[in-house]
Structure 1
């Protein structure tokens, strides 16, 4: 018989938070990716247009980590009409020494939300200009809020601008951001002005046509694009990728298939961009000057999932959270 920890979303929300510790944990995963020693297979991804859904399965083994996670992440976008959340999911954490199950994390996507936002903070920490007074977010969902909260941990700006196709949702998002981090936040009806007035912009949409245009770019701008994680999605104008001084991927092979690099390649972009982990590890140069224009494409990696799941189990055990079953 073996003890297996079972943690619900409520358990995990009580002991895992979007804070500097979570950012550091995810940064460690990116650094490990640059070592070439991480075992991370391609994402298993299913597009389910008949039910307006998608499912991703991600995993990675990171040397030195106590465990490795396998995450199943469904998104069924008709669910709100049924009074159900669009996103769901769980993680199974296995021992990296024995392969036996250590924990079942029934997080309903919470840990994915945390690690995705933390990855945005890592990108901002290593690529955004040193001084950020205004941040902008294109999108109005959960990640719009969390990405800005996370970015504020590493670049404590004073003002936030929010744009979304639904003005009411943009206003609500701005209100929530202001309450969460105590800065001035407002909705705008002009995404071009949002980009013009910001030094740090995050795109958090499921768009299939660009929501950020090349002609809006200006010196000293950093963009983190995290919405494109399926073939067919595209938030950033391919011409913007070509115009930037530096374009960075979380994982080159994923960005070429699922992220912004796919669209840029189709438009004729030839350079091989560095990965974020290579910049963290100082294997490749990052921002060279405050006036540079930088773009980071985050498609989400299994290494991030293993990192946050390992962190979550340690935090839960320390807090005495969750239940234990024997199997």
Structure 2
């Protein structure tokens, strides 16, 4: 079994077109191929404001499958540690033997989540984007906007964060990384109304994005809700959307934005959210005009983990040759 540490994984795996293609292919295969993807196993550690998710999937044609443990301990800032962590193990689909331990400390999860947002925007966002908006200032606020540049050209970014100093730090860092202006705004409403693509990246447990802020020529990707107690979008957002999608409906209705909308009667079991893989494969319709409002709920899937783990394994093995 090969072992790769965080430093070499970060050096070998980037937010680039090759990684984007790996994640997009995984979503397409989820809709069209033979995939075995069990439900997410979750462990909560409430006294430390912590959680751990275990995800895995087999994708037909891949010679490996990943088992990923992802942790989120949101008191870690007080210890001088990042909130997110974890690792992945890659196993052979032929023998079941372990092929590699990827000690990425959550980096690969960050990458594949950012790329999933880019895949959603590629197939659902307006073709012409002048302003990208982001709610939140953490790691996914960075990853999502950086990955968005792979599929859409935009001229500026609007960012809202609850803490001014974090929003200003985000502004400085991302202006250097993106090569375009980043403006800190004082309300979430200003972000939504002023952008063509908006990404929500918070661990909120009470919805805050209001349907009255929505406008034509808008796409929203929600990535924060990955547990039954989380929610970023008010359920009326789905009523106003022309196209409402998700990564996996079975997960969205249990732990994503689809859960609250289903409970409120805005969504129904016989009219579920469209799955991203089916949209990519052409089995479900996508944006038909620039004036549409589209929404995509991303809860994170095992196929993404297997896809990014295989991509990392191949890239890192090649670099060692």
**TM-score if structure 2 supplies the norm length?**
0.97
- Residue 272 of structure 2 is aligned to residue 275 of structure 1: no
- 2:33 and 2:60 in contact (8 A); partners too: no
Unaligned regions of 5+ residues in structure 2, if any? none
Determine which of 147, 170, 174 is the counterpart of 1:173.
Answer: 170
3-state DSSP of counterpart to 2:208? coil
Q: How many Å separate the matches in 2 of 1:273 and 1:191?
A: 25
Q: Does 1:201 align with 2:198?
A: yes
Secondary structure of 1:235 counterpart? coil
RMSD: 1.0
- Deviation track 1:53-76 (CA, whole Å, cap 9, x = no partner) reads 001000000001120000011111
* Aligned twin of 1:250: 247
1:134 Cα deviation (Å)? 0.3
1:236 pairs with one of 233, 238, 243: 233
* Residue of structure 1 in register with 2:68 after alignment: 71
Partner of 2:124: 127
Whole-Å Cα distance in 1 between the matches of residues 319 and 165 of structure 2? 39
Q: Secondary structure, in 3 states, of the residue corresponding to 2:85?
A: coil
SS in 2 for 1:61: strand
Larger RCO (CA within 8 A; separation ≥ 6): 1
Q: Which runs of 4+ in 1 moved over 6 A?
A: none
Instruction: Render the CA deviation track for 1:216-241: whole Å, top value 9, x for unaligned.
Output: 00001000000000111000110011
Q: 1:211 Cα shift?
A: 2.4
- Unaligned stretches of 5+ residues in structure 1: 322-327
Shift of 1:36: 5.0
Task: State the match for 2:306 in structure 1.
Answer: 306
What TM-score do you get using the length of structure 1 for normalisation? 0.96
Q: Aligned residue pairs: how many?
A: 318
State the distance in 2 between where 1:16 and 1:232 align.
32
Give the secondary-structure state (helix, strand or coil) at the position aligned to 1:189. coil
CA apart distance, 1:87 = 1.3
